[in-house]
Amino acid sequence: MNSTQDIRERFVAAAGDLTQTLGLGRNIGQIYAHIYLSPNPQSLDDLTASLEVSKGSASMSVRQLEQWGALKKIWVKGSRKDFYEAGIEFGRIIRRAMIDMVGRTAESADGLLDESEVWLKQRQNGKPNPDLAFLNDRFKHLREFHSRAQGLWNSPVIRRLLK
């Protein structure tokens, strides 16, 4: 490694790989890493120049990162461009990103569980049914884990990190 620029590029690449494996694209990670390691606020054109991404992609990525609190828009007098600097509260950022990504799907799964348990209760009057009993066990097990996970998510320990 010869210059600070080399370090930056390696971090940008690493962050890109990370967000890639996480299912977000490469640009998200690269753009955030670049701005996080830049002393000065960066404009869209800075991004398209430093990283090699299209302006459209930069615009969309920046907006998403902004929604997660990962970037903040900065006013710079004398220029009518939008500049961005990095938010550094990783915990809050991660929390918002997770909610944004799996939130809807998870909630829909929760709803299905509720619905299924109601349906099951309505059918548990008559003669004993092994199949219904088995499903009932599974749903109970799901509920227990869901409850524990919910509790953990709201626990002080987690809140301290993801605050």
Footprint of DNA (CB under 7 A): 20-21, 23-28, 43-45, 52-63, 79-82
Which lies closer to a copy of itself via its Cβ, residue 56 or residue 103? Answer: 103
Task: Tell me the β-bridge partners of 72.
Answer: 85
Radius of gyration of the chain (CA): 23
Residues 6-45 that bind a copy of itself (CB under 8 A): 7, 10-11, 14-15, 17-18, 21-23, 36-37, 39
Contacts of 144 (CB under 8 A, 6+ apart): none
- CA distances 151 to 75, 148, 154, 160, Å, are 41, 5, 5, 14
Between the CA of residue 34 and those of 23, 79, 162, what are the distances in Å? Answer: 19, 21, 23
Q: Is 23 exposed, middle or buried (0-12, 13-18, 19+ CB in 10 A)?
A: exposed
Under rule CB under 8 A, which residues in 131-160 are in contact with a copy of itself? 131-132, 134-135, 138, 141, 145, 148-149, 152, 155, 157-158
Q: Report, in Å, the least distance between residue 145 CB and a copy of itself.
A: 5
Yes or no: say if 123 and 52 are a contact pair by the CB < 8 Å rule: no
Place of tokens 């990504």: 101
Shortest reach from residue 72's CB to a copy of itself, in Å: 16
Size of the site for a copy of itself (CB under 8 A): 44
Task: Provide the minimum distance between the beta carbon of 55 and a copy of itself in the complex, in angstroms, as a whole number.
Answer: 26
When CB distances are held under 5 to 8 angstroms depending on the partner's kind, the choice from a copy of itself, DNA, none that residue 79 binds is DNA
Distance CA 31, CA 51 (A): 8
Residues forming the site for a copy of itself (CB under 8 A): 1, 4, 7, 10-11, 14-15, 17-18, 21-23, 36-37, 39, 88, 90-91, 101-102, 105-106, 108-109, 112, 115-116, 119-120, 130-132, 134-135, 138, 141, 145, 148-149, 152, 155, 157-158, 161
